Amino acid sequence: MSSPSPVEAAPEFALIARHFRPLAGPEALGLLDDAALLTPPPGQQLVLAADAMVAGVHFLPEDPPETIGRKLLRVNLSDLAAMGATPLGYLMTIALAPATQDAWLAGFVAGLALDQAEFGLRVLGGDTVSTPGPLSLSLTILGHVPPGAALRRMGARPGDDLWVSGCIGDGYLGLRAARGEIADPDGALARRYRLPEPRITLGLGLRGLARACMDVSDGLLQDASHLCRAGDCAAEVEAALIPVSDPAAPIAALASGGDDYELLFAAAPADRAAVAAAGLAARTSVTRIGRFTTGAARVTLRDVNGADITPRKLGWSHM
């Protein structure tokens, strides 16, 4: 009936201490308190987003542990990029199988540490629980913008150009490559699927320039239709202009596949040179793929002859 010694504390606490404390900034209070204490940047608005990922649904259970946490962090960073926000920090909850190996957790945390350094943010808090189901992760990210400077989905107007960053369809091709369904000799496609590239620098450069912006997470065409609904206008996308890494792949599949995490945005034709300069400054390619028009809020995909080749399924649903 003697008191347990301090070292006999519940295994959860030892696990958190060993793996996650090194990721935490001073605001996290060593992950020892009930909450984190953050002094927000004075005069700034906070930008807040949350995303969840489930093994077998949003990533492959056999994906390297180093990439799993990073993918969720990058998906959330992409939401900050879409708002033109600067990253600040994040909280993450993890539902693990009870028998998760220490080596798996070490890899998971090592991946997060790399991205914390790359994107300049720190973990502020979280929770680790057990689940009889698949590994599930949830992440809330915080960023900041000057008041009124955030990029929004609403704001596209008829006559605006429709732009996209990077390359579309690599998320779709990368998933197929990771599953071994298509050739991927140097692993570049699978890497794109596992580690999307949030366009933080480009998002910052588009402040005051993009009239509407979002990130492509559910398929280029579906996400373009969101910009249409938010701006109450239509959009025409020229299939031949969509930047793709594999011209032989079916364009409808690439343009409706998910997981691209590129920025999709509207800008005035007068700002074409400024948008190109913002892309150069961010070392991120930007491509004009169509335009907004008057009409019902829908997106139309056109081939080189102007024929409507819009697929029935515009994108991917999380449900």
Smallest distance from a copy of itself to CB 185, Å: 32
Pairwise CA distance, residues 290 & 240, whole Å: 10
Select 46 or 240, whichever has its Cβ closest to a copy of itself.
Answer: 46
Smallest distance from a copy of itself to CB 278, Å: 18
Smallest distance from a copy of itself to CB 145, Å: 8
Q: Is 300 helix (H, G, I), strand (E, B) or coil?
A: strand
Is residue 263 within 8 Å of 248, Cβ to Cβ? no
In Å, the largest CA–CA distance within the chain is 84
Per the structure block, which two tokens stand in for 312?
A: 């029935």
C-alpha closest to that of 242 among 312, 304, 316: 304
Select 258 or 279, whichever has its Cβ closest to a copy of itself.
Answer: 258
Select 36 or 178, whichever has its Cβ closest to a copy of itself.
Answer: 36
Is residue 212 within 8 Å of 152, Cβ to Cβ? yes
Pairwise CA distance, residues 8 & 12, whole Å: 11
Select 280 or 313, whichever has its Cβ closest to a copy of itself.
Answer: 313
Smallest distance from a copy of itself to CB 17, Å: 11
Select 80 or 282, whichever has its Cβ closest to a copy of itself.
Answer: 80
C-alpha closest to that of 315 among 252, 261, 239, 272: 252
Smallest distance from a copy of itself to CB 134, Å: 5
Residue with tokens 């998906």: 75
